[in-house]
Amino acid sequence: MLSAHQLKGIFIPIITPFLPSGELDLASFERMVSQLLTHDIHGIVLNGTTGESPTVAWEEVRTLMESMGANMRRGFGQESVRGTSQRSVPIIIGVGTNDTRASVRRAEMAGNMGADAVLVVTPYYSRPSQEGIVAHYERIAQVGVPVIAYEIPARTGVRVDVDTMRRILDIDGVIGLKDSSGGTDLVSALTASGNNKPILCGEDRLFHAMLGQGASGGMLASAHVETDAFLDVYRLAAEGRYSESLSAFNCLLPLIELLFRESNPAPLKWLLAQQGVLASDTLRLPMMPITAGLQTDLGQLLAKGK
Ligand SMILES: O=C(O)C1=N[C@H](C(=O)O)C[C@H](O)C1
């Protein structure tokens, strides 16, 4: 199980590869995870936003988890591009829904599947009160699998206020927060008021800014690409070398801008397919492939070697 002090560094919310038929593409999945594990990443998130959780069935999450577990046991990616020795990293599973009972069941199943922690998004769509949101987290935390709260109002339609987030972070069993609130106000307010639970940046373009405000790392879709450069940004900031970290981060901004110009993870899937990591950039409806204009711009970035 993951503890709060381990919630630091670079966590990759992995994409879910599909075949052109729409079925899971396990060969691409294994290749992608194998390559990620050649880097010193700090954890993997299965079934997050980037993993297209709204259109992935729970049985498919189980299949992906089994594939990952089996491969880690036998030394995932021994034929990796770099040939380095492999290791296993903590696995966090996204279990958040807008139905507390369903999320509780998923957290129980994730624990049984061997998840080290679960990622629980603010309950979306029904616009619960702040009290209801706290009760949602309290109930899921009772399952006993460490919970990471996930605040992303642009997607959920409801915003958790700072006092409510403090109460959520005070719950036993909630080990930290993934902050995709859209700015640095939440992380600064929590840090200023003495919060001692780790906060991971979940808004790629704000990664460096959030590290400066007390974030302990990031859960970043764009770190599928240029993984070592994202690790450098984190490491330099952790060493207090903020201006070097900023220079490293500024080099990543054009990539981040393109990866989020259209809905994540469509641009990322396209890029990984171009790089041969994925066999195809297939998404499940209502997600659509990226536009021709974005393909051109991403293609130019690829040609420059970024
Ligand atoms: O998969 C995630 O979790 C992430 N979701 C954010 C989003 O798609 O809005 C972005 C972040 O990089 C990771």
Q: Which of 199, 122, 104, 202 is nearest to 164 (CA)?
A: 122
Q: How far is the CA of 66 from the centre of ligand 1 (A)?
A: 23
Q: What is the pLDDT of residues 287-304, one digit of tens each?
A: 999 999 999 999 999 998
Decide if 283 is inside a domain. Answer: no
Domain extent at residue 62: 4-239
Decide if 293 is inside a domain. Answer: no
Query: Which strand (E) or helix (H) includes residue 200?
Result: strand 199-201
Q: What is the pLDDT of residues 222-274, one digit of tens each?
A: 999 999 999 999 999 999 999 999 999 999 999 999 999 999 999 999 999 99
Q: How far is the CA of 17 from the centre of ligand 1 (A)?
A: 16
Q: How far is the CA of 149 from the centre of ligand 1 (A)?
A: 13
Decide if 292 is inside a domain. Answer: no
Decide if 66 is inside a domain. Answer: yes
* CATH classification of the domain holding 54: 3.20.20.70
Decide if 299 is inside a domain. Answer: no
Decide if 48 is inside a domain. Answer: yes
Is it true that the peptide bond before 267 is cis, omega within 30 degrees of 0? no
Is it true that the peptide bond before 146 is cis, omega within 30 degrees of 0? no
Binding residues for pyruvate: 50, 219
Decide if 53 is inside a domain. Answer: yes
pLDDT of residue 236: 98
Ligand 1 atom nearest to 221, measured from its CA: 12
Q: How far is the CA of 220 from the centre of ligand 1 (A)?
A: 6
pLDDT of residue 255: 98
Decide if 176 is inside a domain. Answer: yes
* Number of compact structural domains in the chain: 1
- Residue 37 Cα distances to 6, 29, 279, angstroms: 17, 12, 19
Q: Which of 36, 41, 50, 227 is the pocket-test mutation for ligand 1 (most atoms within 8 Å of CB)?
A: 50
Q: Which residues belong to the active site?
A: 150, 178
pLDDT of residue 69: 75
CB atoms under 10 Å from CB of 243, counted, come to 8
Q: What is the pLDDT of residues 71-97, one digit of tens each?
A: 665 554 433 333 344 567 999 999 999
CB atoms under 10 Å from CB of 130, counted, come to 16
Please give all residues whose beta carbon lies within 6 A of any atom in ligand 1, as ranges: 13, 45, 48-50, 152, 180, 202, 204, 219-221, 264
Ligand 1 atom nearest to 219, measured from its CA: 13
Full-model pTM: 0.94
